[in-house]
Amino acid sequence: MKTNGRRQMGAALLCAVLLMGLPFFIACGGGKAKTEEAQLIQVQVTDDNIQMPKSLPTGKTTFQVTNTGTREHSFEITGPAGDQKLEAALKPGESGSLDLYLDTGTYRVYCPIDQNHGESMQVALVVHPDTTGSRG
């Protein structure tokens, strides 16, 4: 009976020590999502197409969008992470950025101003799990 009581006391003590250390672990960056740096993706929107990667890993992402065309353009993305777009359209030569967390799946990236241009003004972006462990 005494051995069983010691085990229970030891287990209770271990739990107390672990719980006391939890706030320290969290404060020191124990959560990967909080310390993960965003991947920076350069995007060029021209009068004819959107130039950007067609495949990216999951995670925090910043799209740096530059209008290299001669008309006003914008940038919008729809998919598993929801719908996001630049706050304002970009005049020729202007740049803007859009931050979001990309979940695994397929996204539609397009210029909402040029929807009548069809396929040339949209990109199918495939987001795959980040298996490299190189970010964060």
What string of H, E and C letters represents the secondary structure of 55-87? EEECEEEEEEEEECCCCCECCEEEECCEEEECC
DSSP 103: P
Q: Could you tell me the pLDDT band of residue 136, with boundaries at 50, 70 and 90?
A: very low
* pLDDT tens-digit readout, 30-83: 444 445 799 999 999 999 999 999 999 999 999 999 999 999 999 999 999 899
Q: Could you tell me the pLDDT band of residue 120, with boundaries at 50, 70 and 90?
A: confident
Q: Could you tell me the pLDDT band of residue 116, with boundaries at 50, 70 and 90?
A: low
Contact between 66 and 98 under an 8 Å Cβ cutoff? The reply is no
Q: Which fold has domain 32-128?
A: Immunoglobulin-like (2.60.40)
Instruction: Determine the pLDDT at residue 16.
Output: 57
pTM here? 0.70
